[in-house]
Structure 1
Amino acid sequence: MNGVYNPLLTCLSVVVAFLASFTALEGAAMLSAVTSSRWRHAWLAGSACAMGIGIWSMHFIGMIALTLPIAVGYDLDVSAASLALAVLAALVALATVSRGHLSARRLFAAGVVMGVGVAAMHYTGMIAMRMSPSIDYDFSRVALSVAIAIGASIAALWLAFHLRDSRRENIVWKRLAAAAIMAFAITGMHYTGMSAATFAEGSRCLSAHKVDANTLAFVVGVASTAVLVGTLWIFGTQASRLSASLDRATRTIRHLGTHDALTDLPNRAYLMARAKELVQRSTRGGGALAVLFVDLDGFKAVNDTLGHKIGDDLLRQAAERISGCARKGDLVARLGGDEFVVVVSGLPGAQRRGNGLRAEANDASPIGNTDAGAIADTIARQILASLADEFVLAEAIPIRIGASIGIALSQDESTTLDTLLSHADCAMYAAKRGGRNTFRRFEDSMSQSTLRSLHIQRDLHVALARKQFDLVFQPKFTVDGKAMTGAEALLRWAHPVLGNVPPLEFIPIAERAGLMIAIGDWVLREICAHLVEWDREGLAPMPIAMNLSAMQFNLPRIVERIDAIVTAAGVPPERLMFEISEATAMQDVDRTRRIVQSLRDRGYAVALDNFGSALSSLGHLHDFRVDQIKIDRAFVSGLDDTSARSSALLSAVMALARVLGIEVVAEGVETVAQSLKLLALECDQMQGFLCGSPLAGGEFRQAMAGAFAMKS
């Protein structure tokens, strides 16, 4: 029994297949853009239903398009089962392509599952006709239809995965073309499967009395088209929202990348990106450019004592005041911390005084002055006046701060913004040395020490990585000089250009740059490495002391940080002593007491360094419970005087230390007379050039091996 295809229904099946394919591509794109797990599952379920209905409708319309010379109908239960298979196949497809990676193995496996599912849907739909006798199939064509289904599924999955990105060029046209290819593959599979079916002469359709085929064709066609078009409309609406959201997110990310999160001012990256443009625009035609480097005076004290919340509020208000002093078209940026930059562009250059003249804060220059330097001076003066007013911060706390400002003027187009920033920074340090709350204009003759400080600060960042630091060991002796009792590890820096940089010069710079944490960790690791090596050589164990900087000491969980390094090195805690300066210890007496106790509980020894520099800690010796106090060298040098004042003070300190069971070490002992007086005062230990210069690691090892002692 032969049938005839209805051309209109055949065309409708192709259209529905096309819509189903395009829905699949759009659904894959939508799923890849959704990040919420809840919404992702909802979109996956909805998209699978729409796509499954589309594929099922295409096959059903294709079957109905075949007109047989008998009445035909379809069993609703079996038809529903075939629809469920189509939705399940679509679910597998969309779940596969919505993942981040599509391997060849997973693509093939998913393609087989989807292809078999689509084929099962087709042949289950054929069963819904309930023909008697049963439909006879050409199994070679059935196999071909299944192969086409699997091949079409693999191709569909590959296309859907690679066309997920909605931002690709001409993506809509590419998806339309891909949907057309998928539609012809799907319909090809269907009509190949239909050609495999042979209806016997005299066959009857047992479902003919249930649902009329023509009515069902119309309902299925209209309903499926409505579902697919509706789904695409929802996809389009959501895609527009996602696109708008993506654009907003992109703008936000771009803004965050070029602006400071706290003050919303441009950051260093934005400033340097516009550097060339700013200089060229201002210096073209003989114009000038001024850079004002603003550093807040007293901010660190506010931040440390009142907390970061108050500090952040202060920075925000300071940023608003600085911005309010700039002219329209000037650029105000925050470089980080409490440092701001104002780039004053479009200044007249014909009458400018140049970088060679110095401007004091009390110069009177109206903003309308045609001199570029005078205009920059006036803006700096306005900033100082604005920042000098009282700040009312969170919790209604009134604060007064100041600022130091450095100014640099461009000479010509060859001047770079990086150079101007460096010069302005140099001038700012000169303003700080000049008493703070003032401004200075950069001069070629300006103190080279500032430029050297900048050089040192820059190179400190790479000194650790390039192994430019080293340790030397200052021995400690009994006060009679007969026995070495230990040593203090001292940091040294051999700069490749500047030579040996004194610790008194680079350590304060490292503190300001926030590098002492990393440097301190390196020092402790190096000490531990030396101790392990000396123990391996069988040398007599001696305690090694290191100084904890104020930045290290104020670090949260500093004791745990120390313990982690020492434990990792396998060094017994009793081999180490940590020295804390008197000034650092007195910043927060309660915290100092807790940290000292915690260190001693773990087995470390603790010394109070520079003791007596202010005598402020004398009353807290009992509270601190340190193992050792180190008398400041100023008192020791006073022992050479005929005045008995130094001897009396040291005698009182040593008497108190003996009562508390604390060892006393005299620092900076340089003369025999000093050592004899210390011996008479019953001082426990001493160190200084009289005892010996600081020794490199190898020299100190030899000193320990030879039971080195000072020779009087």
Structure 2
Amino acid sequence: MHGRYNPYLVVLSLIVATLASYATLDLVARIRLIDVSGKKRFYWLLGGAAAMGMGIWSMHFIGMLALQMPMQMEYDPWLTGASLLIGICISYFALHVTTRNSLTTCYLFLGGLLMGTGIAAMHYTGMAAMRVHPAIHYRPLLVILSLFIAFVFSWMALWIAVKFQHQRQIILKRCGMSIAMGLAIAGMHYVGMSAAIFPPGAVCHMPNGISQSSFMLILPAFSLCGLIMTLVLSTLDTRFDLLLLRSHLSLEDANKRLKILASVDALTGIPNRNAFIEKTEERLLQAARDGRPFSVMYLDLEEFKNVNDFLGHAAGDELLKAFARELTAHVRSGDFVARLGGDEFVVLLNGLGQPKEAASIATSILDRLRKDFIVQNMTLRITASVGIATYPIDGSSVSALLNNADTAMYAAKQNGRNSYRFFDPAMKDAAAKVLQIYHGLAEALGKNQFSLVFQAKFGGLHNHFIGAEALIRWTHPEMGELSPLEFIATAEQTGQIAQISEWVIGEVCRQMKVWTALGLPPFKVAINLSPEQLRQDRYAERVADIIRKAGIEPQWIMFEVTETVAMREPALAGEVIRQFEQAGFDIALDDFGTGYSSMAYLRQFRVKELKIDRLFISALDGDGEEGEAIVSAIIALAHSLHMTVVAEGVETVSQLKKLKDMGCDQVQGFLLGKPLSPDKFEAFLRRRTNEEASIEKASQ
């Protein structure tokens, strides 16, 4: 008995076979490439096997339905279900094999053999579900050929699924492979169908059987929906997992970026404090193994605050960037440069244990700072103080090395700036004292711990009294009396110098009012100005207002500016001097000769007095003529500019005599008068007034 094939159902069977093949490849990639494990892996294997098995099974039964026989076909429900179960089982086995981490050639061969046998078993079990009487006979050669096709198809399916899972353009290649596998499945089925011989006059009828018409209505829709749903779920789940994977990778990338940002200074681009600490800890561990010393260099820029205050923070940022570049360029390739914050930098000097080696690098850096920096088309010159601590003699931890290098840096700052110092344990005491001063300044004014002393100035051949200089003293409850040299620098750094200076001006005015009320003649009092006061906006007006409210005439007040401060910022100093002179105050240039004087600026300042530093005065007692020549030249220079000359620190009779011979106008020092408290200075004034009155009366 012969039948004919319905071409539409044949095409449908090919479509189902192709979809089943595509679903198989997609599920293999889904389970193998995406990191799934545990229950999720089992559920995907089970669900995938069900969808794949139903797809292959549906293709086979659609192919059998495509064969239209002259009799009505019915199917045994149990054998039909058994064929479906076989299809699902072999599909589970196929997915399990192809999603293994390792798949040997032998295992792949055995897997293909078992899978092909299972597919053949599903096909012939489905054929047996047709209860045909007399029974169907098979052509042996075609049966063997169908088994061979099933085996080859299964082996190729497993091999292709594993071989091409990592290929690019995977969707196009997977579609091509699915079509080829679908044709192979269909080929195996139709070869198997061709092997079947239906006896003439055969009938197909059984009680409670499944009719062909029922299959025609249910099977195509059921199989297509199952396969499409499987593909949709697989695609959505894959995209969801890929989205999670991308999110995870994005978080990892963000964490890496945050780690980099956490170790890099955002402004300068060099490592920051955290990176330096981590690097130094690594170096400490290495040093503990190899015993090689290393040094830590601590740098602090001077006058950086002035750049921010007068030129703006943008200029300050550019200066920090430029300094970071120069600092990196002037250390060795193996050294580690970092910015701690603000204007503080640090360098880890690898393998440097000898002072002369670290000193060479420090000198190179300081030499570079003597050159100009170009920032926003402006020329800036800065200085730095450098402190150096060495492992293991100066510390065996990061904090100890940093603290000791910082202590050495502060000692360099106190030593005149733009210099370097190596850490010395004796610096600890000095640092502790500075810290005590730092904390004590905050409450010194409120607790009336400051006081003034006055040192007289004398002039003429007979050393008559002509004025005084007001000097501040601080009586600390624990450290006792402190001179300005011990706390003024700290007050300038903390910004408290402004309040202290205004207190000095107010206290001088109050004391002068007291002396005037007691009938003492008025005299000129000199008050020192700090660099921070010069930088304050409209400071001369504020001072004039304080003195005017105190009832003191400006002619009785003189302000002293040190040569070092004036020459460091000559334009600013010249403007402030001009403002004070317009307000009626005289200005003196203090400590002359210790800085880098400029004749042009000295003419520009036009100060009232020029005070020669005590260093040159002490040199007058020497045997050489060099000291006398310098002092004589300064006096001649000042007189040529119509300035009054004052010699500081006169302590011997020989110094006084030589100064008078050179034509020095005024002298000041312990020889003629030490700094005195207001009460003792009042007694001194009364005595000098009476003495001068007696001399004048006698001369008449």
Q: Normalising by the residue count of structure 2, what TM-score does the alignment of the two structures yield? A: 0.46
Bigger radius of gyration among the two: 2
